Structure formats: structure tokens, C-alpha cells
Structure 1
């Protein structure tokens, strides 16, 4: 067995630039367009493929989280596909058994973290480029242009999903935790305005699930979009989660920012993490499910 390529869940631009020619490595740009809502219920999103075509890391391909990397039958956006469908979509992007994936984006890292979580949930080794496209560009590395991401298909090269269902949780489990019928701590990764209900929301109602703790994903990054130094990151997380019961169930509006917080907790060694995929988009659809605002 060959040694693992990835050093951990996070890599920097220098590390990546030195290994772009490694045949085991697949680099995926997960950038997605998600404009700020103009009014409550204003959910608009779009593929980031056009931006990828204009400039991207050489050899990378665009992973469309609005397209075949989401479940079109789900009642909410960005739903994770079934393991077999996810593996098939990733195989079309060049991911095979034995591949290791680095995900990046130009949108603050949350999209890359979402793809990283999805990859790990079917046991594909994956990491996120710390600082994303901005770090790559600032590092002065090569930039490619064009939209040709054709992948040679071979019937002998497959991607075999090995699901890890414990990484996801659903509506019924979250309802049970909310009612105190099963253990767990609900943690909201939205910005403060989304948590307290003071900001306009994409979803049908504002606020957070009662009893939730607030740990905004973007608050765990520095001004350049890189994760905070380990000691500072640990202090921020500990201030919120000290004494929190297990498992930690992360949610946000659509399961995206929550993945960024999941990456931060993973960097700190925490393993008892599950992501509520439907998040507030699903939760808010039924008026009988409680939401709390602080304004």
C-alpha cells in the first residue's frame, strides 16, 4: 500500500503547487454562487463554472454543487446525493479508487468544506485548500484558463463508495434532540444576524432552533480566509462548546456554512460531529417546528 498523499484535512497553496503532477491527486473547484437575499424567502443560487473557466488552478475541474452533486428530488437545495449517485458524479470528475482530492473555492471556503464533507462521507480521502483561490493567487502560482475538463473514462477505473452514514443526520433526529429525547448539542453555524433573526433570510422563517449554540463558520477564519491559528481556533470553539454534550449536530441555512465549522472542529480533533443536511431550509418549512429569535 502506498503512503497517503494528504497530510490532513487542510493543505496550503505551497504544498498543493508542489504536487499538482501527482497522478493520485484530483483538484476540484467547488465555487457556487449564492447572492445575499433581498427579502425573506429569496433563495437564488447558481453554478460557479463560468468563473472557474475564466481562471483556475491548473488541472482542476469544476464540481457543481447546484447540479449533479446535489439530489434534485430533495425538498431543499444542495441536498447530498445517495452514496452511489455521489460516487458516480465524482467519477465523472476523475475521482477513482486510490484518488485523493483537494477542494477549493473562491467564496470563503465553505463550498470547499461542503465538498470535503461529502467526499469523506463516502470514504474518499480529501482536504481543503486553506485560503482557497485567493491564497493560490496571492502565492503567485500558475493560473489556467478555459472550460475543457474532459476526463478519460475507463471501465477499469471505478470509485467505490464506502458510506459513513453517521456523518449526516436528518429531521427526525434533530427533532428528537430538540425535544430532549436523545442526546446531542445543536450548533448553528450561521452569522450572528442569521442566528438571532435580525438579518434577512433565504428561508421561510427567521431565527434558530431553540437550545442551539452559535458558532459561525466564517468567524473561525482570519481576514485572508485562512483558518485561525490552532490555539486561537481552539479558544473560540471552547468558549462555545465547553461542556457540550455529544454528538455535536451542526446546521446552518443549507448545510454549507455548517461544513466549514465541521472542518474547524475536525482540525481540533473532534470526531463526534454530524451535519444536519436539510438545516433551516427544511426545518423552517413547517410552522409547527419552533424557531427562536433574539430581536
Structure 2
């Protein structure tokens, strides 16, 4: 990745500097060189979602303790199980309304003019989820490629402390929602019935897609007509995104003939965000994410699911 020049604060009368982030993905060297930039907010999005031992075995938890044990200096923990979820929704990890999301981010030090780097210690999907949420309200954001593992492997400093740093000086955060960032249940229904163009794409592993593995939700399988693009299959063994050519080949093998837009889902809208980041890296702008995913879909026994395992 090409390293962009470090921009300082503008002098009075001079134009504001251009965007700090070079794109939706940054590496550890880029971040290390800019940790002190006052525009940059670094958020650890780690959450816990153990694999189910049997159907319906759902449990999740905050990753704050993991942040407290080891984290990038200056970072704060963004709790996707806390105020960064809408707890009135009928499924977990629901995205809050734009104003509520902006208020929660503001308490983490994000304000108008901020740019955010998200990372996690859980394989990158949590950071991708936070990145998509930020993007959906027009907050400039990127994901640290490889997350905390890549940061530590490069010999970068890691802190362990219970006290979170004080957020930057208070300021407003104005959410500007992007159209079509999120798909709701009626949108998915319309695509399934052929009333609206689009391709449903499940980002679960093959065993979750075909129903051969236990699910933490009420029923196994995938929405009829869906294609399978496992989100974790777009990463290498170190948790970094595959090289562009390899990533394009893997995505193209599934989506080359797919109708636009691409409606991504998984179990709970998390792995789907990783796939959304991969598609964005490849230049696609016709991506939407079904927030309720299979947790919402499977809760209604009248909604069809396909099992192949």
C-alpha cells in the first residue's frame, strides 16, 4: 500500500488538508506513522461470539476485557454489544438509528472532521462491521488490515490498562446516511420474489450455508437463491485481505454474472460486513447489507430456508 504523506494542521488562511485515510484499508506502518494525528480516532471493535455447540446455542459478549488486556496505544473500545447496537430490535447487533449511532460515536471521541481506523483481535470481521456502520453515516473510516495480530507481529507497541483515554475535545458529529447501505426484511423479500433486481449473497462458511453445521439461530440453511461467498475466505492465514488479483478472482468466481445490487447477509450481519469491505476494495459500489440476516429471517418459520447438508 502506498504511504500517503503526513499532513499537519492547517495554518490560518490556508485550505483544509485533504482526506487523511488513503482508502478503506490501512496497514500497520501507515497507522503507526499517524497515531498522533488529532484527526484520527482509533477504535477497537472486538466482540465475542462463540461458535454454537448445538442449534439455538446463542451467546455473545463485549470485547472490552480483551481491549483492556492488550490494545493499540490511544485506542478506545467501541462496544458493538452495548450502545453501538439497537437493543429494541428483535435481533442482536442491530445498527442503531443514525442519530443514536452518531451520539454513541461522539462519546468515543468521533466528531465532524474525524477519521476513524477500526481494528479488532477477532479476525477482522468486527472491525469491518464498525467500518460499515461508520461508512453508512458518512464518517470517513478504514480497517486495519490484519488487526491487532498484524500490529503485534510488526513489533508495534501494545498497552494493557483498565482506564480508557479521555476522548478528544467535544464537538458535534453530524450523521449523513447513505442511501441503500442497509437492506431490511421487505427488501430481501422483494429480491427473493423477483420484484426487485439484486443478488442475495450469504457470507457464512460453506457449512453454515448448506446447513451441515449447527447454527446459533432457530433454523439452519440459507435464503433460497442465495450465492455463497464466505467472508473469512477472503483473508489469508494472517487475517489480512488476499492480494487484489487473488481477491478479485475469488469474488469473481461467485459474482461475475450476478445481478446488481449485491445484498449481503450472514448470521447476524457481521461476516457480511467483511465481504462488503472486500467488494468495496475491488471498486464495487452496488453493495447493501441485510442487517437482520439469518437471525431475523429464521425466526419466522414461514420464511423458507434451503439446507443442502
For the criterion TM > 0.5, the same-fold answer is yes
The secondary structure found in structure 1 opposite 2:295 is helix
1:166 aligned counterpart, secondary structure:
coil
Cross-structure match for 1:280: 294
Displacement of 1:166 in angstroms is 1.1
1:122 to 133, 137, 142: 137
TM-score of the two chains, using structure 1 as the length reference: 0.98
Dislocated runs of 4+, deviation >2 Å? 150-155
Alignment match, 1:166: 180
Describe the SS at the equivalent of 1:102: strand
Which of 223, 226, 244 is equivalent to 1:209? 223
Contact 1:262 1:273 in 2 (8 A): yes
Match of 1:226 among 240, 243, 246: 240
Residue deviations 1:184-219 (CA, integer Å, cap 9, x gap) = 000000000000000000100000000000000000
1:55 alignment counterpart: 70
SS of 2:308's partner is coil
- Name the counterpart of 1:178: 192
The residue correspondences of 1:140-159 to structure 2 (distance < 5 A) are 140-152=155-167, 157-159=171-173
Residue of 34, 37, 40 corresponding to 1:25:
40
- Asked whether the 8 Å contact 2:108–2:167 carries over to 1, the reply is no
- For 2:165 and 2:275, the matched residues in 1 are separated by 33
Shift of 1:154: 5.2
Q: What is the distance in 2 between the residues matched to 1:243 and 1:161? A: 35
Query: Number of paired residues?
Result: 294
Contact 2:109–2:169, Cα closer than 8 Å, also in 1: no
Do the aligned partners of residues 10 and 186 (structure 1) sit closer, same or farther apart at CA in structure 2, a change above 3 Å counting? Answer: same
8 Å Cα contact 1:92/1:151 also seen in 2:
no
More deviation in 226-235 or 158-167?
158-167
Q: Find the aligned partners of 2:197 and 2:308 in 1 and give their Cα distance.
A: 25
User: Secondary structure of the equivalent of 1:259?
Assistant: helix
Aligned counterpart, 1:104: 119
Pairwise CA distance, 1:165: 3.4
